[in-house]
Amino acid sequence: MSNKGIIILVIIWMLFSLVWFLAGNTVKGIIWLCVGVIAVIIALIRNSK
């Protein structure tokens, strides 16, 4: 995945996490945030190899 793709992935995950927080479902917001961070880390590791 290119750097541009990783940035888009981060933005999408942050927006969905924010939507869950604003909707009042804090647990889903935290889960989305954690999964987003994990997905970005995996993408960065794959990109560096």
Query: For residue range 1-49, what is the model confidence (pLDDT) as tens digits?
Result: 677 887 788 888 888 888 888 888 888 888 888 888 888 888 888 888 7
pTM of this prediction? 0.67
DSSP the chain: --HHHHHHHHHHHHHHHHHHHHTT-HHHHHHHHHHHHHHHHHHHHHHH-
Q: Please give the single-letter amino acid code of residue 24.
A: G
**For the stretch 12-43, what's the b/e string if a residue is b when 16 or more beta carbons lie within 10 angstroms of its beta carbon?**
ebeebbeebeeeeeeeebeebbeebeeebeeb
The pLDDT, as a whole number, for residue 8 is 85
